[in-house]
Amino acid sequence: MKALLTILTTLVIAGCANQKLDKESIISTSVPMHLTDKGHIYVSTQLNDVERYPMILDTAANIGVIPNSLLTKLSPSQERIDQIEVQGAVGKMTLTQARLKNTQLNNIQISDLTYIVQDLDGLKTHSQLLPGILGHGFLSNYCNIYDFTNKRVTLINSQCPHSSKDKLRAVDFRIEDDFIKINTWFNGQKVDAILDTGAPTNVVNSKLHALLGVAILEEDKLKGLHNKGVTKHKLAKVDFQIGRHAVVNEESFLADMPVFSALGYQEQPVLLMGLTNFKQNKLVIDYHAKKIYF
């Protein structure tokens, strides 16, 4: 089986996942929002019989991730484990994948989700456990409400209620290959943005940077699943529009990741849109209506 998988700070892209929503799942649940030392949202989950395990919420991941130590503890049967070849952000690799019987967040539960097995080194949680990732296969079943003011995450098994999006700005999105894609505008030019709640900051490619006319401030590294990095450059303040709503972002980076080319953006500008744009208030993702509110 071939798949396309990337982790930026935690972006995952993959070609196959098998999941089903349990018929008797509870309509909604609200849990505390935690942040890693790098600024990723994570929540406490139950995976099979392992309780209170930290999992990052990543809308740009259509297959989840669990660390090696957790796989050992879960001990799934051999028929639930196989190998997968993936194209990562900075290269190809072969990884183990495991299908878990149960993924549960409070009273919400989904059976038979597939996870890549890989350690997300360098990310710290309050429990000191290496986090995993819950992705599109889990999150797309629900209205997602990320309330940064009250530090709560709410998932609702229906269209988002009016009270959750009152006085927020609305923007349409579309789903392509399990990605949330949104029209953004830079200096009058429309640019595809991939919404990634698993990324604390924004990442632009060179084609988009050429439109911005902003200074490069400093250099750092973005790491993929096998801990090899690509160079990233911190940018000065970036002004753009999400839909037609003006925003100013001071946490944007330039990085030409191989995954951008794999997604068809070799010669086109593209934005990986992270949480930095929404942390002052709230981000609501309505998969039923295909709108975000912020």
Q: How confident is the model at residue 53 (pLDDT cuts 50, 70, 90)?
A: very high
Has residue 2 got a pLDDT over 50?
no
Going from the N-terminus, what domains does the chain have, and what CATH number goes with each? Answer: 2-159 (2.40.70.10), 165-293 (2.40.70.10)
Asked if pLDDT for residue 87 goes beyond 70, the answer is no
What is the rounded CA–CA span in Å between residue 202 and residue 194?
Answer: 10
Query: Kind and range of the H or E element at 247?
Result: strand 245-249
Look up the pTM and report it.
0.87
Specify the residue for token string 């018929």. Answer: 23
pLDDT at 202 over 80: yes
Label the pairing between strands 270-273 and 189-195: parallel
Contact between 39 and 46 under an 8 Å Cβ cutoff? The reply is no
Residue type, 17: A
Binned at pLDDT 50, 70 and 90, residue 221 comes out as low
**Over the stretch 103-133, which tens digit does the pLDDT of each residue have?**
999 999 999 999 999 999 888 899 999 999 9
| Residue in the structure block whose two tokens are 């972006």 | 11
pLDDT of residue 273: 97
Question: What pLDDT score was predicted for residue 280?
Answer: 92
Q: How far apart are CA 89 and CA 222, in angstroms?
A: 9
| Full 3-state SS string of 98-151 | EEEEEEEECCEEEEEEEEEECCCCCCCCCCCCCCEEECHHHHCCCEEEEECCCC
What whole-number distance in Å separates Cα of residue 261 and Cα of residue 258? 5
Length of the chain: 294
Task: Kindly state the tokens that stand for 17.
Answer: 């996942």
